[in-house]
Amino acid sequence: MNIDGDFILIDKPYTWTSFQVIGKIKHILCNHYHIKKLKIGHAGTLDPLATGLLIVCVGKFTKQIEQFQAEEKEYTGTFTLGATTPSYDREKPIDKTFPFEHITEKHIYTLAQQMTGEQEQIPPVFSAIKINGKRAYALARAKNNVELKAKRITIAEFNITKINLPLVDFRIVCSKGTYIRSIARDFGKRLDSGAYLSSLCRTRIGKFKIENALTIEQLEKSLS
């Protein structure tokens, strides 16, 4: 790779933050190229409990981060119906349970199609969005009342790939700034129940696919 300007497709490990991935890759590259400083960043944060494609930009390519972030994204994952969590995923424990026996497969398929298109979405309070200079998740963890404004997003495709209640597997193609955790929240509400995101993998950013990404171990081995 060209250390002066390049990008790497990385398959982010489960439980790692995107920041931890950047730190580890910076350490690997600095050791390999015997340098002390390296400009490095990623194009689009993945939550710790999500896996999948992370575009890591190095050197001059850090100027293209915004361009990568603006690209369409594709995700696959699983919603768990009948319960909610404060974070809308498994980071926080279940706080409420709801009946889901009334939900049919037809309801699920129909709702997925109804939720496509341009729309307003309220981000999760446990997110990195800044409010008066502070991260929303920090305010939420400090038990502050957090109110976030709705943002305009587009869900281009929303396919249900498997139903085994209370689990619902999906594939979603969406615009920049879309929170899949918020889709889980809204999906549960519109089924007169509850739902949270129990697994998530980002499979594509623009033309770049997870199949072409390296694990951190593979990257390290390729440089040895």
The per-residue pLDDT for 129 is: 76
200 residue type, one letter: L
pTM of this structure: 0.93
33 and 128 housed in the same domain: no
Amino acid at 70: A
Query: Please, is 109 exposed, middle or buried when counting C-beta atoms within 10 Å of its C-beta (0-12, 13-18, 19+)?
Result: middle
Same domain membership, residue 135 and residue 39: no
* Same domain flag for 36 and 77: no
- We report the CATH number of the domain holding residue 50 as 3.30.2350.10
Q: Do 65 and 79 belong to one domain?
A: no
**pLDDT tens digits along 161-194:** 999 999 999 999 999 999 999 999 999 999 999 9
Residues 110 and 100 grouped into a single domain: yes
* Dist. CA 79–CA 102, nearest whole Å: 17
pLDDT at 136: 72
- Verify that 91 and 196 share a domain, yes or no: yes
pLDDT of residue 85: 97
Q: Per-residue pLDDT tens for 133-148?
A: 777 777 667 666 777 8
pLDDT above 90 (res 208)? yes
Specify whether 103 is located in the same domain as 214: no
Give the position of tokens 């889709």. Answer: 183
Kindly tell me the sign of the dihedral angle through the C-alpha atoms of 13, 18, 20, 24: positive
Per 3-state DSSP, the chain is made up of helix, strand and coil in percentages (nearest 5) of 30, 35, 35
Same domain membership, residue 32 and residue 127: no
Domains identified in the chain, total number: 2
- Do both 109 and 35 map to the same domain? no
Which residue numbers are catalytic? 47
Measured CA to CA, the distance from residue 37 to residue 55 in angstroms comes to 20
Which one, of 74, 72, 47, lies nearest residue 198 by Cα? 47
pLDDT tens-digit series, residues 5-63: 999 999 999 999 999 999 999 999 999 999 999 999 999 999 999 999 999 999 999 99
32 and 125 belong to one structural domain: no
Parent domain of 216? 5-70+207-222
Distance CA 172, CA 160 (A): 9
Tokens of 189: 């509400």
